């Protein structure tokens, strides 16, 4: 981590907030306390008591994220999408995180639009509201209208404007988070199963993409083109001439929020038809388009009678490439046909199994979960409970799923749950199974298998072609005595740090003992010779005082380390 004034001040803030909310052990174990000024280092604020430790932990994490600002709020939101790594009670608290912050001045937003688009607000928009209707940690959103030459009526749009200087804040926080993640894996072996470096790398890639609105515009445009001819499912149109890295202009989609549809019994809404269309739209996203909306909660779905669906807020999306689709189809087919060994083999092919994974135990637990839900009456089917149960199973058995796989599961469960609320008699398996069968048959066609064989043969030819040269290089290195074996150690830096701290404390203790012995000798001597105008016995008393202060300092260090036993 670069030791600039800004970075050190930010680490001090992080350490102080963590300690304030009961995470002082993290500050100690990661040695972040050395960045805290000495007067503040000895102040320990009491942790807030709570009945349920895991729920208390989740609430405290939420408070930490809120106090540390936009980057950490986004990190908490991202962690809430990883139930394969984070316990469900903590996720339930993290889901409540909202990145609503006070808006910045609209005059600043107008200047940013002009700088990003090269035209003024008046030149680009027929009207532009003076206040944003939504304000988040990355951007704020305005309502506006646009009107082309010759048009009689203006079209309603929403304009998303990025916050000024947000990129500098995020990049500083990401530098510190990467450094903390490396410290955690090196100094806290218990943190390794949570894979902090993988989480931070995944989070950084997602957040940097989210801050460039061109990426979001391209994703929305892909959805809009894919559903262009569909009269029952709509994604907003992107106005590219009014879109840039810091400004995004989209068509405003009208409709009633799905939250209201679920809460009321509107006779104009055909609920069974709406449920079926919703599931079919997302099945198409998963298995045909290869790009899906990963956060389809009711607030992001807008409905027009009788059963027309609009979707908004594309901040979280997932992609399914051909390889992942193959794994996904086989795993789902294995679950539907009650073949847990197929699921385990798919996880192995994805390199998702950890060193501690017991395959036999994993198969047994998958079989128990499948038997529990197979044939269950639809009115008794709780998709969210099943989702958390499967993720607990995965976490217990040291399985780490790819991010897209987890997002797929989250989106499928969310849409399935909404569809069952709309129509409790909807048979989800009957909707999914034909698509899976079609995809499996497509992968077994002669043309598809010939293509796979051709690609595999090309890889094999390249291996055979390069093998003689590689063997020749290896033999030459061995002949020259330059063959090396690299050994990677783990946690020895942590051991060295602990030995260093212990030796420092031991040396400090020896000095205290020497000062006490010397002071005792001076005080007990009968010599009355003055030194610096003071009796020599007074110097002995000063030595006692210095030794006492040093001893209290050392005792406080012992108490703060929490390692007296």
DSSP-assigned letter for residue 530 = E
Instruction: Give CA angle at 484 (479, 486), nearest 5°.
Output: 170
Q: What pLDDT, on a 0 to 100 scale, did the predictor assign at position 401?
A: 87
The candidate with the shortest Cα–Cα distance to 18, out of 38, 39, 35, is 35
5: how many CB neighbours lie within 10 A of its CB? 7
Cα–Cα distance for residue pair 58/93, rounded to 1 Å: 5
Tokens of 292: 């899906």
DSSP-assigned letter for residue 140 = E
Strand partners, 531: 534
542: how many CB neighbours lie within 10 A of its CB? 14
Cα–Cα distance for residue pair 243/363, rounded to 1 Å: 50
Strand partners, 341: none
Strands (E), 66-154: 127-128, 134-135, 139-146
DSSP-assigned letter for residue 484 = -
SS3 162: strand
253, burial (CB in 10 Å: exposed 0-12, middle 13-18, buried 19+): middle
Q: Which CATH number fits domain 100-252: 2.60.40.10, 3.40.50.1000, 3.40.1410.10, 3.30.200.20?
A: 3.30.200.20
Q: Widest CA span of the chain, in angstroms?
A: 110
DSSP-assigned letter for residue 302 = E
pLDDT tens per residue, the chain (565 residues)? 667 778 888 998 999 899 888 888 888 888 887 776 655 554 544 444 444 455 588 889 999 998 998 899 888 888 887 777 788 888 888 888 876 678 999 999 999 999 999 999 999 999 999 999 988 888 999 999 998 756 667 899 999 999 998 988 999 999 999 999 988 888 887 777 778 888 898 888 888 888 889 999 999 999 999 888 788 999 999 999 999 999 999 999 999 999 999 989 889 999 999 999 999 999 999 999 999 999 898 989 999 999 999 999 888 899 999 889 999 989 988 888 889 999 999 999 998 998 889 999 999 999 998 888 877 776 677 777 888 888 889 988 989 888 888 889 889 888 988 998 999 888 888 888 888 888 888 877 787 778 778 877 887 888 888 888 888 888 887 787 766 776 666 556 666 767 877 888 888 889 988 988 888 887 887 777 777 667 777 778 888 898 889 888 888 777 655 454 4
SS3 374: coil
Give the CB-side neighbour count of residue 217, counting CA atoms within 13 A. Answer: 22
Strand partners, 234: 310
SS3 242: helix
What does the radius of gyration of the chain's CA atoms come to, in whole angstroms? 31
Cα–Cα distance for residue pair 109/131, rounded to 1 Å: 10
304: how many CB neighbours lie within 10 A of its CB? 16
Cα–Cα distance for residue pair 250/253, rounded to 1 Å: 9
For residues 343 and 366, is the Cβ–Cβ distance under 8 A?
yes
In what helix (H) or strand (E) does residue 416 lie, and over which residues does it extend?
Answer: helix 403-422
Q: What pLDDT, on a 0 to 100 scale, did the predictor assign at position 299?
A: 87
Strand partners, 311: 301
For residues 377 and 423, is the Cβ–Cβ distance under 8 A?
no
For residues 341 and 365, is the Cβ–Cβ distance under 8 A?
no
Task: Give the residue numbers marked as catalytic.
Answer: 295
90: how many CB neighbours lie within 10 A of its CB? 22
Where do runs of H (alpha helix) occur along 264-358? 271-284, 322-336, 340-349
Domain borders along the chain are: 100-252, 266-471, 492-561
Strand partners, 302: 257, 310
Where do runs of H (alpha helix) occur along 423-531? 428-443, 446-479, 492-524
Interior/surface letters 174-196, b for 16+ CB within 10 angstroms, e for the rest: bbbbbbbbebbbbbbeebeebbb
Name the region of 254 (left: φ>0; alpha: ψ -120 to 50; beta: rest). Answer: beta
Cα–Cα distance for residue pair 44/19, rounded to 1 Å: 7
For residues 206 and 81, is the Cβ–Cβ distance under 8 A?
no
Report the length, in residues, of the chain.
565
**Strand-strand pairing, 291-293 and 534-535:** unpaired
The candidate with the shortest Cα–Cα distance to 11, out of 196, 180, 205, 241, is 180
């Amino acid at each position: 981590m670069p030791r600039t004034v800004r970075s050190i001040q930010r680490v001090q803030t992080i350490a102080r907030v963590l300690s304030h909310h009961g995470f002082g052990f993290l500050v100690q174990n990661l040695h972040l306390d050395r960045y805290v000024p000495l007067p503040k280092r000895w102040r320990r604020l009491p942790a807030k008591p709570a009945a349920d430790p895991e729920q208390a932990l989740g609430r405290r994490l939420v408070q930490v994220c809120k106090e540390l600002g936009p980057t950490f709020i986004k990190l908490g939101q991202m962690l809430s999408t990883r139930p394969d790594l984070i316990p469900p009670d903590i996720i339930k608290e993290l889901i409540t995180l909202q990145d609503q912050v006070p808006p910045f001045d609209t005059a600043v937003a107008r200047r940013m639009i002009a700088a990003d688009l090269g035209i003024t607000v008046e030149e680009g928009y027929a009207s532009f509201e003076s206040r944003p209707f939504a304000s988040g940690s990355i951007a704020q959103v305005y309502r506006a209208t646009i009107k082309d030459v010759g048009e009689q009526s203006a079209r309603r749009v929403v304009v998303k404007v990025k916050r000024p200087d947000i990129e500098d804040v995020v990049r500083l926080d990401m530098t510190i988070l990467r450094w903390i993640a490396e410290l955690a894996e090196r100094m806290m072996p218990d943190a390794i199963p949570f894979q902090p470096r993988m989480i931070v790398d995944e989070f950084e890639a997602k957040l940097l993409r989210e801050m460039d609105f061109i990426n979001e515009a391209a994703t929305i445009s892909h959805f809009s083109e894919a559903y262009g001819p569909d009269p029952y499912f709509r994604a907003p149109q992107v106005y590219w001439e009014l879109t840039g890295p810091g400004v995004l202009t989209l068509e405003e989609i009208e409709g009633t929020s799905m939250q209201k549809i679920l809460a009321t019994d509107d006779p104009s809404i055909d609920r069974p038809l709406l449920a079926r269309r919703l599931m079919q739209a997302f099945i198409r996203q998963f298995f045909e388009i290869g790009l899906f909306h990963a956060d389809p909660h009711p607030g992001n779905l807008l409905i027009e009678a009788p059963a027309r669906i609009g979707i908004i807020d594309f901040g979280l999306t997932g992609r399914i490439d051909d390889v992942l689709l193959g794994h996904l189809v086989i795993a789902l087919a294995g679950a539907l046909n009650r073949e847990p060994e197929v699921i385990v083999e798919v996880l192995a092919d994805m390199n998702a199994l950890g060193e501690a994974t017991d395959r036999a135990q994993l198969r047994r637990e998958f079989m128990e979960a499948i038997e529990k839900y197979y044939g269950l009456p639809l009115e008794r089917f709780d998709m969210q409970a099943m989702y958390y149960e499967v993720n607990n199973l995965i976490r217990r058995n040291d399985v780490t799923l790819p991010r897209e796989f987890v997002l797929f599961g989250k989106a499928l469960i969310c849409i399935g749950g909404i569809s069952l609320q709309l129509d409790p008699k909807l048979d989800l398996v009957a909707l999914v199974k034909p698509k899976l069968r079609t995809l499996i048959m497509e992968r077994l066609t002669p043309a598809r298998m010939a293509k796979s064989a051709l690609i595999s043969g090309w890889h094999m030819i390249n291996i055979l072609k390069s093998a003689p040269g590689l063997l020749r290089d290896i033999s030459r290195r061995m002949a020259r005595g330059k063959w090396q074996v690299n050994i990677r150690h783990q946690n020895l830096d942590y051991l060295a740090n602990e030995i260093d701290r212990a030796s420092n404390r031991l040396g400090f203790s020896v000095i205290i003992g020497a000062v006490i012995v010397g002071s005792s000798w001076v005080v007990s001597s009968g010599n009355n010779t003055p030194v610096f105008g003071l009796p020599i016995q007074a110097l002995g008393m000063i030595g006692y005082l210095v030794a006492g202060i040093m001893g209290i300092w050392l005792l406080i260090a012992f108490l703060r380390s929490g390692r007296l036993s």
